[in-house]
Amino acid sequence: MFYINATQKNIKRITRLIYHCALVVVKGSRFISEEKLFQELGWNTFQERTNYLSTTMFAKIKLTKTPKITHNTFFTKIPKNVGRNEGKILVIFSRKNKYYNSYYLKMIRMWNSLKKETRVQEHYSDFLNDMHIKYGIHEYKKENLFKYDTEIDTLYLKLRYHYSTLKADQFKFNFVNSPICEYCDKNKQETIHHYFMDCQKFIQQRQILKNNITRLHQHFHNLTNRQLISIIQGKRENIIDNTIYKNIYQFVKLYIVTTGRFA
């Protein structure tokens, strides 16, 4: 009830609190955006969490997963539409804002906005599956692949989101005078692509990284540098499954440690 009736001011404060908690978890800085940070951790946004809690609670009441007195209070005297509006609940209109903005009416409007196939589910488990598949609304069950319990984990996050101590990242914030790599003579900016793909100082470590990744799956045998850096940066569209992703992550950590660039 608190979620659905929260004021915009309270919503902003709660969202900000969640964001700061996420920063503590990953030991990150405020340069990373809220959207990317939540995606990294597999956390729901405040609005997603509100939708999930509200609709699942309403489904529990509708499917009598709560005491019958609660179900009777909500549904007994309210007729249902049929046909394309099957499963919808008629809203009793009122000119009073206090009633229109009440928890009860907001729940009904949210329920009516769901697709018919979801509204007419007769089992709570089927309803939850529909919520996950059709709307992407879910519980906190995403597997967190990174524990962020070491300096390397935190450094990898900073590399991926371009606020590491690489010269190109530092130059963006005016922390250094030049973005050029000082470890090789190519006169190129020290970006994450240069660090992993081009820098002459780390040729041996780079070859070990490539060999380790290509051995994981036949899908990786003929990777271009662009595809490889995409995988290193954690782009999931190129990853077969979580197990392979975790192995790649370990190989990348090994590369970071053996290069000694951030020691």
What pLDDT score does 190 carry?
Answer: 93
Q: How many domains does the chain have?
A: 2
The amino acid sitting at 248 is I
The token pair that represents 225 in the structure block:
């540098």
Q: Which domain holds residue 189?
A: 151-259
Q: Examine residue 159 and state whether it is found in any structural domain, yes or no.
A: yes
pLDDT per position as a tens digit, 124-158: 888 878 777 665 554 544 444 445 556 777 788 78
Which amino acid appears at position 104 of this protein? Y
Integer Cα distance of 39 and 44 in angstroms = 8
> Which residues touch 257 (CB under 8 Å, ≥6 apart)?
152
How many angstroms separate the CA atoms of 118 and 130, rounded?
6
The reply to whether 183 and 247 lie within a common domain is: yes
pLDDT at residue 46, as a whole number: 77
Q: Contact, 130 vs 121, CB < 8 A? A: yes
Residue 117 lies in a domain: yes
pTM for the model = 0.55
DSSP-based three-state secondary structure for 228: helix
Position with higher pLDDT, 246 vs 258: 258
**Residue 195: what pLDDT?**
93
Query: Does residue 109 share a domain with residue 222?
Result: no
| 143 located within any domain | no
H or E stretch including 117? Answer: helix 116-119
- If asked whether residues 64 and 155 sit together in one domain, one would say no
Last residue of a domain, one of 107, 135, 163: 135
From the number of C-beta atoms within 10 Å of its C-beta (0-12, 13-18, 19+), residue 247 rates as middle
In the chain, the percentage of residues whose pLDDT exceeds 90 is 12
Using one digit for the tens of pLDDT, what is the confidence trace for 91-106?
666 666 666 667 777 7
Based on the fold, state whether residues 110 and 165 are members of the same structural domain.
no
Same domain (yes/no): 43, 159: no
pLDDT over 80 at 34, yes or no:
no
The pLDDT tens digits of the residues spanning 199-253 come to: 999 999 999 999 998 888 877 888 888 888 888 887 765 556 667 877 888 888 8
Q: What is the pLDDT of residue 145?
A: 45
